[in-house]
A and B are shown apart, each in its own frame.
Chain A
Amino acid sequence: MAVNHVEARPYRPDWKRGRVAGWVTTVDHKRIGLLYIATTLVFFLAGGVLALLMRAQLATPNEQFITKESYNELFTMHGVTMIFLVVVPIFAGFANFLVPLMIGARDMAFPRLNALSYWLFLFGGIVLYSSWFSTGGAPDVGWTIYPPNSVFAGGTGVDLLILSLHILSISSLLGAINLIVTIHRMRAPGMTWMRLPLFVWSIEVYAAMLVVVLPALSAGLTLLLLDRKAGTHFFLPAEGGNALLYQHVFWFFGHPEVYIMILPAMGIISEILPVFARKPIFGYAAMVLALVAIGFFSLLVWAHHMFTVGLSRPLLGFFMVASMVIAIPTGIKIFNWLATTWRGNLIFDTPMLYALGFVGVFTIGGLSGIFLAAFPFDWQVHDSYFVVAHLHYVLFGGSMFGIFAGLHYWWPKLFGRLLDERLGKLSFWLVLAGFNLTFFPQHMLGMMGMPRRIYTYGQGGAWEWYNLASTIGAGVMGVGIAVIALNVIVTSRRGRRAGGDPWRGDTLEWYTTSPPPPENFDRPLPYISSARPLRDLRRRIQESGAG
């Protein structure tokens, strides 16, 4: 290290300069971010195909399109893929690319650790998907991997799933520590905590939550693996174990995981709405407090996933109240977003459409969550399609709408070219219509008695119609996502050049070129005196020009 001149770029041997070798050996946060995002999008398409296969099987009663063995593999792999290989890591990708840019840093705090977490992530994904070719096929026990069923499951699918989740946990943990150190230690001069972009705040909470809850998952999975392979019986009642112990450990991780998947999307929306409303975010401090409050309370609500196991009344009451408490900061965020659009100059470019769509559909997911927190009603719809509808309103209507908004918003920063607006708007309408058609009827199916994770049903009438509508909606959504893919392909060569700041953004990532140079900023940063440094800069230039 000391051999180089102070001014020189870090030394790179010839073999690292090739096109492929350059990507494989990169420690640049932007390239790692792109690797994350590209990989997760591939897994997203895979998980989406699994979902479409399930919807095809459920389109009509007594359908024979998919066998029961395969169906159980499909919903397990769909859930694990979307949670562990898409939503959580794509936020790692966004964070990798954006956090150093937004806080005015040259890179992440630990660039090589950063590369390690990406390659571990890819490896974990490959291990999971290799299970299709293993004895007994892919895991078929649901993403929650409940014992005793998961201990009894034959083949090696469940073992590969556990191995994969261990690898992915380590990857996430390294990434989270890296992000926390970066955010704490590398902010530009003047960027105090209350001048931090809300997306960076959301990543701070996301990373802190990962550090707190991932060890619980690792512990639970290790005990499960021992039960399967080493003859222990932590979770086997026949030998004196306790099957519910696993559920407590799993959901202590699993519920915060839901917020790990939604908070960064909220951060993205909080970046986009003000820019396209030409206003500051309404109630910045309340937005920060709400993020932190959601993160904290999410650690206290896990047993609302266990309302039907026969908990004592005080526990039922506690977990209902704790779950409802989360509705308060969530409500604050929704009302603050609405207030941000009030009297704005609303510009309906694609990122803004997805952001407004997020507010509209995420609200439905939040409200159905209040029903589920009321445990007597939860007894009625627990493990039914009502829950499937609720979680997709939160994780697709919330997380994925946020991701689509973010992709359209930062795409020009990532690649220097804008996505096409007409295709973008078309994709938005298709995804919005398809999404609601797919998932809204599932609320009704759940209340009518359709449990989740069944490969077929015999009922005709309304069951059949709602299921058919849901399948058609999934197809429409699939077309909408294909339009996004088409947009990416079409604009990759012919897209309009973005310039540094195509949207008139407020945060530091728009201060540099698109895509940014290797160490991010080729000119000195302005002193950060608010949460919107670029607007401050524009105003200073305007004033000095006028005066």
Chain B
Amino acid sequence: MPAAAAALTVLALALASAALAGNGGLAPPDAESPNAEGINQTYYFILAFTGVIFVLVEGLLLLFVFRFRRGRRSREAEGPQIRGNTRLELIWTLLPVLILVAIGGFVFYKLPGIQNIPSANAQGGRLDVTVEGHRYYWEYRYPNGVVAVDRMRAPVGQNVQLTLVAPVDDVIHSWWIPAFGGKLDTIPGQTNRTWFRARRSGTFVGQCAEFCGIQHAAMLAAVEVMPREEFEQWLASEERAQRTGSSMLGADTWAGACAKCHGQNAQGGIGPTLIGNGAFRDREALEAIVRQGQGEMPPIGQTWDDRQVDALYRYVRREFGSGGGTGGG
């Protein structure tokens, strides 16, 4: 009796505190996309069965512990020497089989809605974005060549297909925005695909879920969902800005790909300080380092196009290129 009673008390306390904040983790977050919705329904379906089994087992355990405690009986006294009961044992073998068949059946019933990526010809069209997992940042590529780092923008109500990849020299990462459903790994040498269709505007966060090295915890991701017209405008104007070199891509690349190890102000961290570094004033040197890596630094920019290298170079030259060192600029 006392054992399970304490367990239940703790459980109740945990549940009560959880109730204070939304669903507080008692279920996956509110679904903001149909695939997440399917997963949540799967969760509640399984919970219905496991919840009953939980109450049954813990309840019987408490009941038996209370009812059949020794009390005033002698320590030597034996209970009835019951060795088994075929009918009972068949029941608790076959009933779980039925429950598991039901759960398995439900999973496959819901699976197409969760996993099947809507066709490009479906109503409203489809936006295809490539998500590339790097140590330790996310790079997004839109069909018109626009590149973004860590923060993805997406339209409300439109199907978005994500093509998940990682550079061949990189490690395994895992893309996960809980409100948009499950995670899927980005694996060097392999292409995975998933999708979402955001129900409303807002910013939805997540982070890398596969341990990828020293800054795994800093590999945060965000998806900013906006009305479709606004998104189309942004995508078009960003394309112009990246073509003409007036975008924020350099600053974003610095913050996502460089600053997590070298500090936002290049003051150093895991990586050495870069203040006064010659590569801030030498595009060739900068390109060599980001494409090939150096020492413990991975080749963070091996898949960048020249525009992204240019954008980073313009940014670091402006921000850090004039301080100390051998002058120039």
Contact = CB atoms under 8 A, between A and B. Distances in A.
B322 to A, nearest CB: 32
A285 B82 CA distance: 13
Contacts of A325: 100
A504 B76 contact: yes
A202 B184 CA distance: 37
Interface string B47-84: 10110011001101100110011100101111111111
Contacts of A344: 64, 68, 79
B88 to A, nearest CB: 7
A262 B236 CA distance: 58
Interface string A447-461: 111011111110001
Contact of A324 (B80, B104, B174, B206): B104
A41 interface: no
A451 B46 contact: no
A130 to B, nearest CB: 22
Given A149-B172, A282-B84, A455-B217, A462 B79 contact: no
A335 B124 CA distance: 53
Given A448-B29, A469-B17, A279 B61 contact: no
Interface stretch (A8-16, A238-246, A409-417): A238-246
A359 B56 CA distance: 13
Contact of A356 (B65, B174, B206, B207): B65
A328 B83 CA distance: 20
A343 interface: yes
Contacts of A546: none
Interface in B4-55: 4, 6-7, 10-11, 14, 17-18, 20-22, 24-29, 36, 38-39, 42-43, 46-47, 49-50, 53-54
A310 B166 CA distance: 14
Nearest to B66: A346
B120 to A, nearest CB: 20
Nearest to A363: B57
A280 B80 CA distance: 9
Contacts of A280: 81-83
A433 B296 CA distance: 44
A432 B6 contact: yes
Contact of B39 (A237, A345, A380, A504): A380
Nearest to A429: B6
A383 B69 contact: no
Interface in A288-338: 308-310, 313, 317, 320-321, 324-325, 327-328, 331-332, 334-336, 338
B122 interface: no
A23 interface: no
B327 to A, nearest CB: 35
Given A338-B57, A440-B14, A380 B181 contact: yes
A436 interface: yes
A384 interface: yes
B68 A448 contact: no
Contact of B217 (A68, A152, A343, A367): A68
A302 B100 CA distance: 19
A282 to B, nearest CB: 6
Interface string A215-252: 00000000000000000000001100011100000000
Contact of B28 (A320, A359, A445, A447): A447
A328 B100 contact: yes
Contact of B60 (A244, A338, A379): A338
Nearest to B207: A451
Interface in A365-386: 367, 370-371, 374-384
Interface in A507-540: none
B15 to A, nearest CB: 9
A339 interface: yes
B210 interface: yes
B7 A436 contact: yes
B183 to A, nearest CB: 5
Contacts of B127: none
Contacts, number: 309
A360 B217 contact: no
B63 to A, nearest CB: 9
A429 B2 contact: yes
Interface string A252-279: 0000000000000000000000000111
Interface residues of A, number: 101
Contact of B54 (A348, A367, A380, A465): A367
Contacts of A370: 46, 49-50, 100, 103
Interface string A434-449: 0011001101111111
A383 B207 CA distance: 11
Contacts of B84: 282-286, 336
B132 interface: no
A342 interface: yes
A69 interface: yes
A43 interface: no
A371 B65 contact: no
Contact of B14 (A339, A348, A444): A444
B92 A331 contact: yes
A124 B176 CA distance: 37
Interface in B150-174: 168-172, 174
A34 interface: no
A72 B217 CA distance: 11
A79 to B, nearest CB: 11
A436 B4 CA distance: 11
Interface stretch (B107-115, B223-231, B247-255, B303-311): B107-115
Contact of B24 (A356, A444, A455): A444
A359 B294 CA distance: 54
Nearest to B74: A345
A445 to B, nearest CB: 6
Contacts of B83: 280, 282-284
A457 B208 CA distance: 12
B18 to A, nearest CB: 6
5 contacts: A68-B215, A309-B190, A324-B103, A335-B89, A376-B38
Given A141-B211, A374-B103, 5 more contacts: A377-B182, A451-B208, A462-B24, A465-B21, A466-B25
Interface of A: 68-69, 72, 140-142, 146, 148-149, 152, 154, 237-238, 242-244, 277-280, 282-286, 308-310, 313, 317, 320-321, 324-325, 327-328, 331-332, 334-336, 338-339, 341-348, 353, 356-357, 359-361, 363-364, 367, 370-371, 374-384, 428-429, 432-433, 436-437, 440-441, 443-449, 451-457, 461-462, 465-466, 469, 504
